[in-house]
Amino acid sequence: MPEPQTRTVVVLAAGEGKRMKSSLPKVLHPLLGRTLVGHVLNAADPLGAARTLVVVGHGADQVRAHLAGIAPEATAVHQAEQLGTGHAVRIALEAAPEVTGTVVVLNGDVPLLRPETVGELVAAHESEGAAATVLAAQVPDPTGLGRIVRDAAGRLEQIVEQRDATAAQLALREINAGIYAFDAARLRDVLGKLSTDNDQGEEYLTDVFKMLVSAGEPVGVHLAADHSETLGCNDRVELAALRRLLRDRVNERWMRAGVSLLDPETTWIDVTVALDRDAVVDQNTQLRGGSVIGSGAVVGPDVTLIDTVVGPGATVLRSHAVGAEVGPGASVGPYAYLRPDARLAERAKVGTFVEVKNSEIGAGSKVPHLTYVGDATIGEQSNIGAASVFVNYDGVRKHRTVIGSHARTGADNMFVAPVEVGDGAYTAAGSVIIENVPAGAMGVARARQRNIEGWVLKRRAGTAAAEAAERAQGASAGTSSASEGEPIHGTAESVGGRPGAGDTATE
């Protein structure tokens, strides 16, 4: 076996991608959790390269900033003028004169490339001691792609670009994937001899193979098992096609791993997402970023989760969540919105038309409907009444509300932070809570009700309301006459002008 080679990866990411018609460099367009160039770097990662050189040009500052976030160990090499792939590789190697061993060259727009395929290409190249090896593929339609031209013995003769090919060469279906492995020393020697004598007036990297063959150097062709891995994109139509192919690949992998996808065609899962066995994903669902779905959890239909963790056995239905955490057995939705740092503990509930931001909801606690919870801590087994608002912003700073455990807060409450409601406390419906409510107390903060008798008949005479009131008063007078003298059983204490102290919440 030959000695392991030092490896260097060169990624070609300098092109503008004019047909994308975008201010964003082509290699930065997103595809299921990574950019195009991000997918390519991920495919090369298992090679364990000593260095990674990314050739940048159009939108160089944007690409550099992106690399700093996803691959800080990579070195960006600027190609001021885009004079061809051969020129790009030469510029890269001039920036790293110490490079020896194997140089792997990848196009920055082939997001379906698998790490296994890159590894097999490099292994074949190094084991055969080749000067250069090209990754090839047999495709149904080779239009626009460089062709692999072989001699009578089946050996590589040359790689011809579409625009320079003869009619016979255009009929070939074996294409150049734009992915190569080279011996560094031989590559350096030949790069200095490239010419621009072609239709585009550029230095073609593919001409290296023809020159090596002419010099009697060993060159190889490694055939990809799946031609779809070699597909690039030049416009947004082709990008959408790649997105669908990657979606199907990702979905198949998860289903074979024990995840139920009820409608794979409407389920979009980023490559960065993790799912446990027996998770169920219903239709029209997007799982994005670093989301994690636990065993037995049910997500969907109509759900978007971004960087959100859903615990085992939890349910998320027709909702949107960003940077949230849904605990084991908890339930969310329908039509809920979990914003960053919303954290639901075990068996907590966030229901219909509820928005939660930067808040903890304790085990077994419920926020069933029509409520905004912002910058709050809610203890265990508490219930928040409908149409409540946690008033967290004074126009300058955010403040926090604390609701204790086993508390019961009334419908249509306002909690004006900073404020606390103690363990086991109640608040009356319609209250604006601006002071702390001690544990076990009832907080009432509303005006006493006052009824103005006869107001409708005086101020809205002739209306349907006035006619209804007259009829009701007449019927009431008749009933009162018939029951006159009957005893009245029981009385009730008034809290805030309304009988009873239990008018606190809905579940």
Task: Write the single-letter amino acid at 402.
Answer: V
Residue whose tokens read 């009619």: 167
- In whole angstroms, how large is the CA radius of gyration of the chain? 34
What is the residue extent of each domain of the chain? 7-230, 258-443
Q: What is the pLDDT of residues 367-409, one digit of tens each?
A: 999 999 999 999 999 999 999 999 999 999 999 999 999 999 9
Cβ–Cβ under 8 Å, residues 417 and 434: no
Distances (CA, A) of 391 to 75, 228, 417, 429, 445: 48, 53, 6, 16, 15
pTM, full prediction? 0.90
d(CA 15, CA 13): 6
Exposed/middle/buried for residue 141 (C-beta within 10 Å: 0-12, 13-18, 19+): exposed
Q: 453-463 burial string, b = 16+ CB within 10 Å, else e?
A: eeebbeeeeee
Burial call 52-68: b when 16+ CB within 10 Å, e when fewer:
bbbbbbbbbeebeebbe
Sign of the C-alpha dihedral, residues 459, 462, 468, 474? positive
pLDDT value at residue 489? 38
| Contact criterion met (CB below 8 Å) for 194 and 204 | yes
Query: Which CATH code of 3.40.50.80, 3.40.30.10, 3.40.605.10, 3.90.550.10 fits the domain covering 7-230?
Result: 3.90.550.10
- Say if strands 102-107 and 174-183 run parallel, antiparallel, or are unpaired: antiparallel
**What is the distance, to the nearest Å, from the Cα of residue 382 to the centroid of all Cα atoms in its chain?**
32
406 as an active site residue: the answer is no
Q: Which residues pair with 352 in a beta bridge?
A: 369
CA distances from 85 to 110, 117, 200 (A): 15, 22, 12
The CATH homologous superfamily to which domain 258-443 belongs is Hexapeptide repeat proteins (2.160.10.10)
pLDDT for 118 equals: 98
Beta-carbon neighbour count of residue 507 at 10 Å? 12
Catalytic residue among 125, 369, 406, 489: 369
Q: Which residues pair with 437 in a beta bridge?
A: 421
Q: Both tokens of residue 294?
A: 């636990």
Residues 59, 293: Cα–Cα separation, whole Å? 36
- The string of DSSP letters for 291-341 reads -EE-TT-EE-SSEEEES-EE-TT-EE-S-EEES-EE-TT-EE-SS-EE-TT
Q: Are 219 and 130 in contact (CB under 8 A)?
A: yes
Tokens of 347: 């068996």
Q: Which two tokens stand for residue 133?
A: 């090896």
pLDDT per position in the chain (507 positions), as tens?
445 679 999 999 999 899 999 999 999 999 999 999 999 999 999 999 999 999 999 999 999 999 999 999 999 999 999 899 999 999 999 999 999 999 999 999 999 999 999 999 999 999 999 999 999 999 999 998 999 999 998 999 999 988 889 999 999 999 999 999 999 999 999 998 998 877 777 898 999 999 999 999 999 999 999 999 999 999 999 999 999 999 999 999 999 999 999 999 999 999 999 999 999 999 999 999 999 999 999 999 999 999 999 999 999 999 999 999 999 999 999 999 999 999 999 999 999 999 999 999 999 999 999 999 999 999 999 999 999 999 999 999 999 999 999 999 999 999 999 999 999 999 999 999 999 999 999 999 999 999 999 999 999 999 999 999 999 998 887 766 555 544 433 323 334 444 344 445 567
pLDDT of 5 reads: 73
pLDDT at 476: 80
